[in-house]
Structure 1
Amino acid sequence: MQQLEAVIHDARTLGAGNSLPLSASEAEVARQMHICNACRYCEGFCAVFPAMTRRLEFNKADIHYIANLCHNCGACLHACQYAPPHEFAVNVPQATAKVRMQTYADYAWPPAFGKLYKRAGLTVALALGAGLALFLALAAQAAGSLFHAPLAGNFYAIFPHNTLALMFGLVFGFAVLALGVGVSRFWREVTPADFPNTAPAASMSEAAGNVLRLTYLDGGHGEGCSEADDKVTLLRRRFHHFTFYGFMLCFAATSVATLYHYLLGLHAPYALDSLPVLLGTAGGIGLMVGPAGLLWLNLRRHPLHGDGDQKAMDRGFIALLLLTSLSGLTLLGLRDTGAMAILLATHLGVVMALFLTLPYGKFAHGIYRSAALLKWAIEKRQPNKLKLGDD
């Protein structure tokens, strides 16, 4: 009986991530957290440091949780007396960025896709987009519809509605499933057995507000993030907002068009002043401004402000967003010309590539970070188990 209890205890310990061996990146975050826990100068900057103070040891689950709480604003790096070139070499933004990349690969489903995108994100993104666009163009050519007279913007004359609905339904369903499996595994592993099974409304509201406002991209002082040097700017926060809300407007345009088609019996093409077109145009502009700005910041970012190995992943996602918006707006402008079929194949191929790579690229950081912010919103309302004075 005692042996059985010992086995159960060991299984629970391993399941909570308490005794799993740490990778080099994880061990580096743990080392820096011990130093930061002794200093606590940066405690008011963001959620990372209050979460840190509730722990004396940092196991694998804690490290991935804290890494995904970090928004890489750079405030703590430039405030730290132990930052490089000090021998302690404390650089929390860079250390946690490396662990986040491991998070995306470790929790990806299927795992092989995550590892492939981690190694060559930009190449995979562009090759997949080009390959799918070529496939669709060849399919249109085989059907005799690649070269045509103007069709008054009728996409369904090129690809039937049911064909498009089936293709994108499968792709979207796969992306949702893969992201759901990944974040579910992440949540189970970063939450202890005694963690509340349901999130209080106040915690959910706080986490949602932090996600939608990008609260922790204000640097802890409301003035923004460090990019090329120690100067702060709100540009990253604003470009993120353009990107996120541009994406959501495009999604809203597709949703409204779906309701028009199935509920109201109104079929595409829609007029330029119709709600789906207006939403899609606004979203497309947002997805031009936001990703272009983020790419500009990414190219200028100081090497100490992040993980250089993530650049291919970051730029692959940005490239697909830019190509999606550019091809979509071009298609809208030229939909009543003989070039519509090739433009439609290009746009659809890029969009399919974007959705197929969502669970493995930079998009996933928003999902895992939202989960980490929800855990923090719940955790901060729980009694501090350390019971160290007023901590």
Structure 2
Amino acid sequence: MQTLQALTRDAVSTLMLSPEETEVDRVMTICNACRYCEGFCAVFPAMTRLLEFNKADIHYLANVCHNCGACLHACQYAEPHEFAVNVPRALAAVRPLTYAEFAWPPALGRLYRRAGLTMALATAGGLALFLVLVLILNQGAWLHVPLAGNFYAIFPHNLLVLMFGAVFLYAIVALGLGVAAFWRMLSPAAAPGAVLGAAGLDAAGQALTLKYLDGGHGEGCNDEDDRYTHRRRAFHHLTFYGFVCCFIATSVATLYHYLLDYPAPYPVVSVPVLFGIVGGIGLLIGPAGLLWLNLRRHPDHAVSAQQPMDRGFIALLMLVSATGLALLVWRDTGAMGLWLALHLGAVMAFFLTMPYGKFAHGVFRSAALLRSALDRRMG
């Protein structure tokens, strides 16, 4: 069977819909007749521009949705009404299909979708164990001798650059190929450069501020019941900007090493370490909060098939952060090598699984928001 990557928009519309996609078609048809929630988020204005919902449109709407829950709690056709309209759950059921369909290579996307938590933890554990075994076999002395935070006494700098550079490049290429195929399927209208630039700024602002986690009215999400909260938005921000701080820390350390000939280790008050500390704390608190909310989420919002992917990603982020902070605390002791091996294993696992799980949702959602912004500006 042809994959969506190889199809034009017209060809996509002729494909048989999956049960999840058929449910979105049914729900969106009802919503398009009602339009009570038109001002809630980007999903409903995008929906009103469509007369029917083919496969491409369904995946587009699914990735615009932030699952805030506001439309469900405002819907007069939700259960117990016979229409049983549930927009958040219907669209959430389609999003994993997008990630799996556009994963590259496709087989890995299907594997991660079926066993996200198992794959994430097994990959992190396996890589960390491999690193520990290599260290024990080749440089066992580090287990007992403090190295004053000198990571390169255990792993040569060039070896780390080669290993992580290759894996990071693979992750970027895999994500890029998937999102490029998704964008081709969306088939946005051709736009002048100025319009495309303005739409890009709109979409970036919406993504960076998590605009659509405010329920469409600024009061927040419905996490557990009809009460509005900003908890999801706050924990998402801590997670995302914690990741950004860690990326800045790595980038600054790279500049120190190559431009200033100033290799690690760096003092605690240095720029790379301070950004790393802030980022690590954000990546610990944010994912912990998201896991707490995930476990308490209103059952009508949840899709059980997506839970392994969500929780696997959260667990891996927490593992990366916890081992990184532990490495900083014990870097001047004989335990530094062990924490380094565990941390590098977790980071390697994160990069390897990055294109096949929850991380991808931010990239696909940004593409969908760009399509939405283009549609608004092109009329």
TM class by shorter chain equals over 0.9
Aligned counterpart for 2:81 among listed residues 77, 86, 99: 86
Provide the residue aligned with 1:69 in structure 2.
Answer: 64
| Corresponding residue SS for 1:81 | coil
Provide the residue aligned with 2:289 in structure 1.
Answer: 293
Looking at structure 2, the residues matched to 195 and 69 of structure 1 have their Cα atoms a distance apart, in angstroms, of: 20
Judged with a 3 Å threshold, the aligned counterparts in structure 2 of structure 1 residues 167 and 32 are, in CA distance, closer, same or farther, namely same
| Corresponding residue SS for 2:378 | coil
| Corresponding residue SS for 1:87 | coil
Looking at structure 2, the residues matched to 357 and 197 of structure 1 have their Cα atoms a distance apart, in angstroms, of: 36
Aligned counterpart for 1:96 among listed residues 91, 96, 99: 91
Q: Is the contact made by 1:14 and 1:20 (CA closer than 8 Å) also made in structure 2? A: no
Deviation at 1:201, TM superposition (A): 1.9
Provide the residue aligned with 2:365 in structure 1.
Answer: 369
Letter in 1 for 2:339: L
Provide the residue aligned with 1:224 in structure 2.
Answer: 220
Q: TM-score, normalized by length of structure 2?
A: 0.96
Deviation at 1:13, TM superposition (A): 5.8
Looking at structure 1, the residues matched to 145 and 9 of structure 2 have their Cα atoms a distance apart, in angstroms, of: 67
Equivalent positions of 1:256-295 (< 5 A) are 256-295=252-291
Looking at structure 2, the residues matched to 308 and 40 of structure 1 have their Cα atoms a distance apart, in angstroms, of: 28
| Corresponding residue SS for 1:359 | helix
Provide the residue aligned with 1:37 in structure 2.
Answer: 32
Whether 2:216 is the aligned partner of 1:253: answer no
Deviation at 1:234, TM superposition (A): 0.2
Deviation at 1:232, TM superposition (A): 1.1
Provide the residue aligned with 2:230 in structure 1.
Answer: 234
Looking at structure 1, the residues matched to 41 and 224 of structure 2 have their Cα atoms a distance apart, in angstroms, of: 21
Looking at structure 1, the residues matched to 192 and 342 of structure 2 have their Cα atoms a distance apart, in angstroms, of: 45
Whether 2:120 is the aligned partner of 1:131: answer no
Q: How many residues align?
A: 371
Provide the residue aligned with 1:159 in structure 2.
Answer: 155
Looking at structure 2, the residues matched to 14 and 53 of structure 1 have their Cα atoms a distance apart, in angstroms, of: 20
Which string of whole-angstrom CA distances, capped at 9 and with x for unpartnered residues, describes residues 145-167 of structure 1? 45131111100011100111101
Deviation at 1:373, TM superposition (A): 0.3
| Corresponding residue SS for 2:53 | coil
Looking at structure 2, the residues matched to 253 and 12 of structure 1 have their Cα atoms a distance apart, in angstroms, of: 42
Provide the residue aligned with 2:354 in structure 1.
Answer: 358
Deviation at 1:20, TM superposition (A): 1.5
Looking at structure 1, the residues matched to 8 and 181 of structure 2 have their Cα atoms a distance apart, in angstroms, of: 15
Looking at structure 1, the residues matched to 192 and 256 of structure 2 have their Cα atoms a distance apart, in angstroms, of: 39
Looking at structure 2, the residues matched to 228 and 76 of structure 1 have their Cα atoms a distance apart, in angstroms, of: 14
Deviation at 1:141, TM superposition (A): 1.1
Looking at structure 2, the residues matched to 191 and 131 of structure 1 have their Cα atoms a distance apart, in angstroms, of: 41
Looking at structure 1, the residues matched to 295 and 47 of structure 2 have their Cα atoms a distance apart, in angstroms, of: 31
Which string of whole-angstrom CA distances, capped at 9 and with x for unpartnered residues, describes residues 187-220 of structure 1? 000115x533755221111111000000000001
Provide the residue aligned with 2:42 in structure 1.
Answer: 47
| Corresponding residue SS for 2:63 | helix
Q: Is the contact made by 2:191 and 2:378 (CA closer than 8 Å) also made in structure 1? A: no
Provide the residue aligned with 2:172 in structure 1.
Answer: 176
Deviation at 1:27, TM superposition (A): 0.8
| Corresponding residue SS for 1:258 | helix
Looking at structure 1, the residues matched to 191 and 356 of structure 2 have their Cα atoms a distance apart, in angstroms, of: 29
Deviation at 1:74, TM superposition (A): 0.3
Aligned counterpart for 2:345 among listed residues 323, 343, 349: 349
Deviation at 1:307, TM superposition (A): 1.2
Provide the residue aligned with 2:137 in structure 1.
Answer: 142
Q: Is the contact made by 2:167 and 2:348 (CA closer than 8 Å) also made in structure 1? A: yes
| Corresponding residue SS for 2:84 | coil
Instruction: Quote the RMSD (CA, aligned, Å).
Output: 1.2
Q: Is the contact made by 1:13 and 1:19 (CA closer than 8 Å) also made in structure 2? A: no
Deviation at 1:86, TM superposition (A): 1.2
Looking at structure 2, the residues matched to 13 and 243 of structure 1 have their Cα atoms a distance apart, in angstroms, of: 35
Q: Hey, which of these two has a bigger chunk of helix by percent?
A: 2
Judged with a 3 Å threshold, the aligned counterparts in structure 2 of structure 1 residues 19 and 319 are, in CA distance, closer, same or farther, namely same
Judged with a 3 Å threshold, the aligned counterparts in structure 2 of structure 1 residues 197 and 22 are, in CA distance, closer, same or farther, namely farther
Which string of whole-angstrom CA distances, capped at 9 and with x for unpartnered residues, describes residues 94-120 of structure 1? 000010010010000000100000000
Deviation at 1:21, TM superposition (A): 1.3
| Corresponding residue SS for 1:238 | helix
Looking at structure 2, the residues matched to 25 and 86 of structure 1 have their Cα atoms a distance apart, in angstroms, of: 20
Q: TM-score, normalized by length of structure 1?
A: 0.93
Provide the residue aligned with 2:321 in structure 1.
Answer: 325
Unaligned runs of 5+ in 1: 1-10, 384-391
Aligned counterpart for 2:105 among listed residues 110, 115, 133: 110
Aligned counterpart for 1:22 among listed residues 11, 14, 17: 17
